[in-house]
Amino acid sequence: MSETKLPLQDLRVLELGTLLAGPFTGRLLGDFGAEVIKVEPPGKSDPMRDWGKSKDGVGLWWPIQSRNKKSITLNLREEEGQAILRDLVKEADILIENFRPGTMEKWNLSYEILSEINPKLIMVRTSGFGQTGPYKSRAGFGSVGEAMGGLRNVTGFEDRPPSRIGVSIGDTLAALFATIGCLVAIHEREQSGRGQVVDTALYESVFSVMESIIPDYLLAGYIRERMGNILPGVAPSNIYFTKDKTYIVIGANADGVFRRLCEAMEQPELANDPRFSTHHARGENMKLLDSMIEEWTKTLPAKEALAILEEKGVPSGLIYTAKDIVEDPHYQAREMILHVEHPQLGDFPMPGIVPKLSRTPGEVKHAGPEAMGKHNEEIYQNLLGYDQEKIKELAEKKII
């Protein structure tokens, strides 16, 4: 374990949310050293503990999502629990929550109340539709955000219904934007000395990455639809079948790269063919061009085709499974699969840290805590100064 000072280790985070978007924000902050205190209601754990595949009764997603975090229990539905959270807020820099808007206010834990206790507090709020607007009270999961943010309509093939991407991308995008907002607020606090609310909506996070779909519609009258593996008007950029019955991805839509692809295919004359010599021409003749490229790839095993493309400097690659990722030497060299000790499972592999910092890189110190309330004594006694008798009483009353 590195002795290097982690860049966020002077920050303390209270994480109140469950499942994906809020806790993923906590994970990202924890990767770079923030002390993240995960709060769960006593007797009712975060459902993420049981999500995904399991081994020996242990969910395999939780140790990743909750890595580096500390776990305490606290009943926020009771006034005594709310008072304890206000004590914790005095000692915190950031509070993360992803409840439906109005929940924190119902618990007497609004930002107005909490910021009076700690004016420097940054409250990171992630919800389906944000803290304002006519839809603010709606329940919103990542799937709804993906749908109403515009992503589902362009995902899949044109002759089939809209499709889901294979991961919870709406929640993840929201977490990334929430993290950016949190770090921006931390930076601004250095100047003003004051905290603020970071309001992140799932649908807005998805919509924010939807490229030019709005001017496409309002200025050009074009609504982007599902187009499978291609990009509208951008070619060649597709998947191509190979001799050994697999697919490879090739992206060669820039003029210079396309010329190198033509050389790799031993058809250099195609680069000067009027049907393919410009970006717009290739877009207009996409289907013909893709069929010609696939006629070439079908004559070669995938690895041989990729070796030729690599030699010519053409962006290309296999479509990886988890097995391919685990066996790839580049993943290993970049430490993108970390091995962390788990108290029940032993060696536990998980994704590495992104991005890489040259001088103060992030670190995974431990997998997600397996027991709810594992750090109750550390936080309530050492941080808040509660004595053993009070901690015992709170546990008996099911406040913690």
Distance of CA 160 to the CA centre of its chain: 27
Q: Which residue range(s) make up the domain with 35?
A: 12-209+333-396
The per-residue DSSP string of 273-333 comes to: -TTTSSHHHHHHTHHHHHHHHHHHHTTS-HHHHHHHHHHTT--EEE---HHHHHH-HHHHH
Same domain, 339 and 312: no
Same domain, 44 and 157: yes
Same domain, 43 and 192: yes
Same domain, 202 and 271: no
Q: Distance between CA atoms of 281 and 255, rounded to whole angstroms? A: 11
SS3 185: helix
Give the pLDDT of residue 2: 52
Q: Distance between CA atoms of 303 and 270, rounded to whole angstroms? A: 24
User: For residues 242 and 182, is the Cβ–Cβ distance under 8 A?
Assistant: no
Give the pLDDT of residue 289: 97
Boundary (domain end) residue, out of 318, 351, 379: 318
* Token pair listed for 55: 């081994």
User: For residues 213 and 153, is the Cβ–Cβ distance under 8 A?
Assistant: no
CB atoms within 10 A of CB 6: 20
pTM of the model: 0.94
Same domain, 178 and 259: no
Residue with tokens 């580096």: 68
Classify residue 214: in a domain, yes or no: no
Cα diameter, the chain: 84
SS3 238: strand
User: For residues 150 and 162, is the Cβ–Cβ distance under 8 A?
Assistant: no
Residue with tokens 């990202």: 28
Q: Which residues of the chain fall below pLDDT 50?
A: 1
* Token pair listed for 376: 């109750």
| Count of domains forming the chain | 2
Same domain, 296 and 156: no
Classify residue 232: in a domain, yes or no: no
Same domain, 28 and 156: yes
Same domain, 297 and 372: no
* Token pair listed for 168: 């919870």
Same domain, 37 and 185: yes
Same domain, 313 and 352: no
Q: Distance between CA atoms of 228 and 304, rounded to whole angstroms? A: 26
Classify residue 377: in a domain, yes or no: yes
Q: Over the stretch 26-56, which tens digit does the pLDDT of each residue have?
A: 999 999 999 999 999 998 989 999 998 999 9
Q: Distance between CA atoms of 32 and 126, rounded to whole angstroms? A: 21
Classify residue 327: in a domain, yes or no: no
User: For residues 11 and 31, is the Cβ–Cβ distance under 8 A?
Assistant: no
Boundary (domain end) residue, out of 318, 344, 367: 318
User: For residues 70 and 36, is the Cβ–Cβ distance under 8 A?
Assistant: yes
Same domain, 281 and 163: no
Q: Distance between CA atoms of 121 and 134, rounded to whole angstroms? A: 27
Same domain, 21 and 163: yes
Classify residue 4: in a domain, yes or no: no
Classify residue 230: in a domain, yes or no: no
Residue with tokens 């050994």: 244
Classify residue 229: in a domain, yes or no: no
Question: Which residues carry out catalysis?
Answer: 171
User: For residues 171 and 206, is the Cβ–Cβ distance under 8 A?
Assistant: no
Give the pLDDT of residue 233: 87
Q: What is the CATH number of the domain that holds 291?
A: 3.30.1540.10
User: For residues 237 and 293, is the Cβ–Cβ distance under 8 A?
Assistant: no
Among candidates 314, 336, 315, which has minimal Cα distance to 327?
A: 336
User: What's the start-to-end Cα distance of the chain, in Å?
Assistant: 32
Q: Which parts of the chain fold into alpha helices (H)?
A: 21-31, 62-65, 79-90, 103-106, 111-117, 142-148, 169-192, 202-207, 213-220, 255-264, 279-284, 286-297, 302-311, 322-327, 329-333, 376-377, 388-396
Classify residue 95: in a domain, yes or no: yes
Nearest-10 crossing angle of helices 255-264, 302-311: 130
Boundary (domain end) residue, out of 294, 318, 342: 318
User: For residues 225 and 285, is the Cβ–Cβ distance under 8 A?
Assistant: no
Q: What is the CATH number of the domain that holds 66?
A: 3.40.50.10540
